[in-house]
Each structure stands twice: as structure tokens, then as C-alpha cells.
Structure 1
Amino acid sequence: MLNEIKKDAQARMAKSIEALRHNLVKVRTGRASTGLVDSIKVMAYGSEVPLSQVASVSVSDARSLVITPWDKSVVGAIEKAILASDLGLTPNTAGTTIRLNLPALTEERRRELAKVVHGEGEDAKVAIRNIRRDANHHIKELLKSKQITEDESARAEAEIQKITDAAIKDVDEVVKAKEAELMSV
């Protein structure tokens, strides 16, 4: 029973770290990445669909993305979706090809983005601590119902704390790596 609680907590913490990595892909660094436009939804064919389902996205060079729609009728919808997104990019359209040029980041913008990265890291830490709280709550319930001894409970809580510490260390490493990527010119 205790092993299941520990495994569940560890798996949920790993998912939190993976979600953090996924969220940080959207934070724009100086380089172009197809991950920047993953979250964009395009109004096409009567519903909102992810950009990746109506167009191919590729990196043409370090500072630009090329979006090629599979159907030329959605070019306008893709442009609107990009303009409405929080990326702050202006699409340049040539026929059916849309080009996104990423301007170089200013020092001030880099610092703002570093704060955003830090905030995402803090959110991930809060999620991990909530997972720890849930696991400890389950352990206390087992103790109350006399399914485990106090020693087993203390040992399990200590192990949960070790798992939590490792997960928070991973979050710090991910945040530090993203900040270093942002600050490199």
C-alpha cells in the first residue's frame, strides 16, 4: 500500500516537471522553435483546431519560422490566430506561405521572460508540494485505520520528502537551464 502511494506521488511529480518543460517551450528565446506556435488554435472548418492540424511548421533559419497551410483557404485564419496570440509576432504572407520573423530580444525583454520562467517554476513547485501533501494525507489515513504502524508512517513520509526534494531540484535545474538559454545573446 505504501509503495503504491510513493509510486503514484513520484509519477505525478514527474508529470508536473514534464508539464513545466512543455510550458517553457512556449517562452520565446532568441532562436526560432516550432514549439512557439504549438498552442495556437486556428478557426478553420467551423471549429478551433491546433495550427499543426492545418499547416506544416518548419524552422527556416535561427530567427524565422515558415508556416505552410495545406489548404489555402485557411491562410487568413492562421494570420488572425497568430496576431491574436500572445507571441507578439507579425506574420508576413507571400501567397500561401506565412513567415514569422523573430526579432532579437532586448535585455529588458529577456529579464521579463526570465521572471515568467521563474513564475512557471514556482507553479511547478507548488504542484509538487500539493502532491506531497496528498501522499502524506493518504499515509496518515492508513495510520488512523491501523493498517500501518507509526514507524512505517514516519519512514514513508521521510521517503515522500526525499522524492519531493529530488523533484524540486529537477524543477530548479529546468528553470536555471531555460534562464541561461534566455540570457545567452
Structure 2
Amino acid sequence: MIDSFKNDIDIRMMRCLEIFKSKIHKIRTGRISPSILDGLHIEYYEKKTLLNQLANIIMETSNTLKISVFDHSVVNLIEKAILNSHLEVNPIVVGNNIKIIFPPLTEERRKKLFKIVRSEAEAVRICIRNVRRDANDFLKKNIKKKIISKDIEYFLQNEVQILTDSYIRKIDHLLLQKESEIMKF
């Protein structure tokens, strides 16, 4: 029971960390990659479809993406989705192709990215702490039901706190890496 309990808590905290990694990976710093458009959905035949299933996305230059759309009828839908996204760019439509030129990062934009990254880090810290709280509540309920003893509860609370501290350190490390990456370019 102890190992499965610790394993479950570890898995839940790992999920929080993976969500954080995927969110900060999408925040662009200097060089653009096609993965910045990974989460973009387009309403295609009344279904939400990922952009990379409707078009080929390539990097033309370090700050330009070219989207070659397979079906000409969805070019306007893709353009609208890009305009409504968090990217804050204006797409240029040329036939079946869409070009997205990303401006260089200004000091104001860098500060905005800092705030976004820090707020994402705080949100994932809260997620980790919520997992810890749920685990401690579970232990308290099991003490009341007399399933576990006080000694086991104390031991497991200590183990949960060690896991929590470990994941918080990982989050802080990723945050520092991303902040230095933002300042680098």
C-alpha cells in the first residue's frame, strides 16, 4: 500500500510538471519552430482539427513560418484561428500558403513573457501543492477509519513532502532556464 500510494502521488505530480513543460515550450524566445502552432485547432467539417493535419508547416527563416494548406477552402479558417490565437501575429495569405512573420522580441514583449512564464510556474506549484493536500487528506481519512496507524501517516506525510519539495525544485529550475532563454535572444 505504501509503495502504491507514493507511486500514485509521484505520477500525479509528474503530470503537473509535464503540463508545465509543454506550456513553456510553446512560449517562443528567439528562433521560431513549427511546434509553436501545435495546439492550434481549426473547425473543419464541424470537427476541431489540429492545424498540422490540414497543412504542412515549415520554417523558412529564423523568424518566418510557411503554412502550405492542403485544402484551399480552409485557408480563411486557418487565418482566423491564427489571428485569434495567443501568438499576436498577422498572417499573410498568398494562394494556398500562409506566411507568419514573427517580429523580434522587444523589451516590453520579454517582460510580458517573463510574467507569463512566472504565472505558469506558480499555477503548477499550486497544482503540486493540491496533490500534496489531497494525499494528506486521504491519510487523515484512513487514520479515522483505522486503516493505517499514526506512525505510517507521519512517515507517508514526510515522503509526500519530500516529493513536493523535489517537484518544486524542478519547476524552479525549468523557470530559471526559460527566463535565461528569454533574455538570451
Report the TM-score, using the length of structure 1 for normalisation: 0.94
Counterpart contact for 1:30–1:102, Cα < 8 Å: no
Residue in structure 2 matched with residue 119 of structure 1 by the alignment: 119
Residue in structure 2 matched with residue 31 of structure 1 by the alignment: 31
Residue in structure 2 matched with residue 7 of structure 1 by the alignment: 7
Relative distance call for 1:139 and 1:104 in structure 2 (3 A) is same
What SS does the corresponding residue of 2:39 show, helix, strand or coil?
Answer: coil
Q: Distance in 1 between matches of 2:173 and 2:33?
A: 21
Counterpart contact for 1:89–1:100, Cα < 8 Å: yes
1:72 aligns with 2:72: yes
Q: What 5-or-longer segments of structure 1 have no aligned partner?
A: none
Shift of 1:12: 0.6
Q: Distance in 1 between matches of 2:157 and 2:46?
A: 51
Q: What 5-or-longer segments of structure 2 have no aligned partner?
A: none
Residue in structure 1 matched with residue 55 of structure 2 by the alignment: 55
Residue type of the partner of 1:98? I
What SS does the corresponding residue of 2:66 show, helix, strand or coil?
Answer: strand
- Alpha carbon RMSD of aligned pairs, Å? 1.3
Q: Distance in 2 between matches of 1:32 and 1:11?
A: 32
What SS does the corresponding residue of 2:138 show, helix, strand or coil?
Answer: helix
What SS does the corresponding residue of 2:148 show, helix, strand or coil?
Answer: coil
Alpha-carbon displacement from aligned partner over 1:53-83 (angstroms, at most 9, x marks no partner): 2112222221111111111221111111111
Shift of 1:114: 0.6
Alpha-carbon displacement from aligned partner over 1:66-121 (angstroms, at most 9, x marks no partner): 11111122111111111121211111222211111111010111011111100000
Shift of 1:31: 1.5
Which residues of 2 match residues 169-180 of structure 1 at below 5 A?
169-180=169-180
Residue in structure 1 matched with residue 90 of structure 2 by the alignment: 90
Counterpart contact for 1:143–1:153, Cα < 8 Å: yes
Residue type of the partner of 2:102? L
Q: Distance in 1 between matches of 2:174 and 2:56?
A: 28
Alpha-carbon displacement from aligned partner over 1:126-170 (angstroms, at most 9, x marks no partner): 000000011111112222222222111111100100000001111
Q: Distance in 2 between matches of 1:79 and 1:153?
A: 55
Counterpart contact for 1:5–1:138, Cα < 8 Å: no
Aligned residues: 185
Residue type of the partner of 2:99? R
Residue type of the partner of 2:162? K
Report the TM-score, using the length of structure 2 for normalisation: 0.94
| Identity within the alignment, % | 37
